[in-house]
Amino acid sequence: MSISNLPSICKKFVQERVLLGCTQNGEVVFQGWQCCRIFMYNPQQELFRKTKLSVDLPIASICLDSLYSSCLNLKHKRKRRSATLRKAKLRKTMYENDTCVLPHDILFDVLIKVPVPSLLRFKSISRSWNAIISDNNMFVKAQRDQSKALGRQKIMLQRTTGEFEFIHLENLKGVVEKQNFPIKKFQRAHILCSCDGLVLLKKPKAYKKFVLWNPSSGQHRTIECPYHKLYNHNLPHACGLCYDSDTDDYKVILIYSVFYVVYSTSKGSWSTMKINLPILVQHLPSFELQPNSRLFLCVGGICMEGRVYWSLQNKIEPFVRKTSTIIYFDMKSDELKELPTPLFVREDENELFRLSSVNGCLCLCGIKRVTHELNIWIMEQDDWKLLMRINKSINYFIHCLKLLCCTKNGEFIFDGLGYNKLSIYDPKVQRFVTTTYISNPIEYVLPYATPTLCLDSLYFPSNVMHKKKKLKHIQ
């Protein structure tokens, strides 16, 4: 073969290259000084083209058949990559210029019924879906309310490793979800209380740092109480988290010995007020923190319709006795008030009750020490009524178990005799029908941790600008 029209610069090029041979389609193959670089001359087009092998081989090991196959594979790879790029460009175009088939209101009504994990994935479908799901004013609130109506709640439990486990009430025997808190220094934080889909955590061995967390969406916010050293009171006796529907505001309440503080999530600000309940001042004297006692001091309240409830008996606790006083925080006025003790509590000194909530109502679950009879009372329209009576229950039932909720089919779920069990009572057959593990029975949970309900919700308070303010005087 003669390359008659080869320029002078190419002659030097050919002299410094190694002629390998000719391919099946008649192209002349040269190898450059780099073993992986191949130059091919097409006699018909009288043009050179260069390519690169995927593997760097010595000259002696290169054969024309493998060279030809390598060139074909490289060509196919380029085609596949071009096809992938075209598909990605098409998806991007569809995302940017999407046209929703369903009307907006119909799509809105459908999406609010979808669980949170699916909603988070649906954000990547299109811009219109992302805009709907990310709407914190309309969609997120509607989805939260819909989850409440559907009873879409999860039981949350904390392990000794700091890991959190979740199991859906809709499927108690289903797969247990495991999740770590995203901030490393808060991974062993203590669960204090919850409201809807928000959970209040406290950093271990820290007096002033707390964190709000939505486990479903993964959003969180660290809050720091500026009043924790006021009057040398470092740790609160009680805490609470509640929602005010009138102002669309979640508030955190921390009760100290002579004052209490309120954090507004919508404003991002703290306020402090002097305790105006004499009975609370009387039963909460100042005391020094005892060794290993910091885990038990802060008692989480029961949130219900803009109020947070606690029981007071020498100290704030979840149990209600004949001599106890029920106190609550009123979100409308930001005041601590006293709730009249029910008559059925004052009548029998041998009956021990525990504060809880059932079907959106404040609940008192009490057991008679003599007859071992369990009574469940609920408060409706400021009046108490007996909801259910369980005969021949366990004597220490009320001390070890906590009424968590009532399912759609009317079954009552208690945290079981053991930190990782659930006891389910069916009123239709009037007995405990099953005891199910909510985690591996070999593993251990924190001794002070009890199962907590958490709503499957996207809602999280909007971010606010935190401004540094001087400490206000106690009112």
Q: Which pLDDT value is given to residue 17? A: 61
**Strand order of the sheet with strand 374-380?**
319-320, 351-358, 361-368, 374-380, 383-390
Q: What's the pLDDT band for 316 if we cut at 50, 70, 90?
A: confident
Q: Which pLDDT value is given to residue 465? A: 45
Q: Which pLDDT value is given to residue 252? A: 94
pLDDT for 466 beyond 60: no
193: β partners: 200
Q: Which pLDDT value is given to residue 136? A: 73
Max CA pair span of the chain: 117
Range with top average pLDDT, 135-144, 387-396, 418-427: 135-144
The stretch 405-415 carries a mean pLDDT of 82
Contact present, 183 and 211 (Cβ < 8 Å): yes
The stretch 372-382 carries a mean pLDDT of 86
What is this structure's pTM? 0.72
What ranges make up the beta strands (E) of 318-350? 319-320, 325-330, 335-339
Contact present, 199 and 184 (Cβ < 8 Å): no
pLDDT for 65 beyond 90: no
CA distance 123 to 97: 15
Q: What's the pLDDT band for 251 if we cut at 50, 70, 90?
A: very high
The stretch 373-381 carries a mean pLDDT of 88
Percent of the chain beyond pLDDT 90?
12
* Bigger pLDDT: 6 vs 87: 87
CA distance 356 to 378: 9
Contact present, 226 and 474 (Cβ < 8 Å): no
The stretch 57-76 carries a mean pLDDT of 52
CA distance 446 to 161: 9
**Cβ atoms within 10 Å of 41's Cβ, excluding its own:** 21
Q: Which pLDDT value is given to residue 417? A: 57
Q: Which pLDDT value is given to residue 288? A: 44
Q: Which residues contact 401 (CB under 8 A, 6 or more apart)?
A: 414, 415, 416, 417, 423
Read out DSSP for 142-204?
Answer: HHHHHHHHHT-EEEEEEBTTS-EEEEEGGGTTSPPEEE--SSGGGTTPEEEEEETTEEEEE-T
Contact present, 160 and 446 (Cβ < 8 Å): yes
Q: What's the pLDDT band for 169 if we cut at 50, 70, 90?
A: confident
Q: Which pLDDT value is given to residue 184? A: 77
Contact present, 20 and 65 (Cβ < 8 Å): no
The stretch 225-253 carries a mean pLDDT of 82
**Cβ atoms within 10 Å of 27's Cβ, excluding its own:** 18
Which pLDDT tens digit goes with each residue over 143-163? Answer: 999 998 888 888 888 777 778
* Bigger pLDDT: 15 vs 79: 79
Segment among 53-67, 132-146, 196-210, 430-444 with least mean pLDDT: 53-67
Percent of the chain beyond pLDDT 70?
70
Does domain 156-455 fall under CATH 3.40.50? My reply is no
Q: Report the mean per-residue pLDDT for the chain.
A: 75
pLDDT for 202 beyond 70: yes
CA distances from 199 to 61, 116, 190, 256, 355 (A): 66, 16, 10, 20, 19
The stretch 168-191 carries a mean pLDDT of 76
Q: Give the pair of three-digit tokens for residue 123.
A: 């954000």
pLDDT for 442 beyond 80: no
Q: What's the pLDDT band for 289 if we cut at 50, 70, 90?
A: very low
Kind plus residue range of the DSSP H or E element containing 346: helix 343-347
292: left (phi over 0), alpha (psi -120 to 50) or beta: left
pLDDT for 257 beyond 80: no
Residue ranges of the chain assigned to CATH 2.120.10: 156-455
Contact present, 45 and 57 (Cβ < 8 Å): no
Contact present, 432 and 415 (Cβ < 8 Å): no
Segment among 105-119, 260-274, 275-289 with least mean pLDDT: 275-289
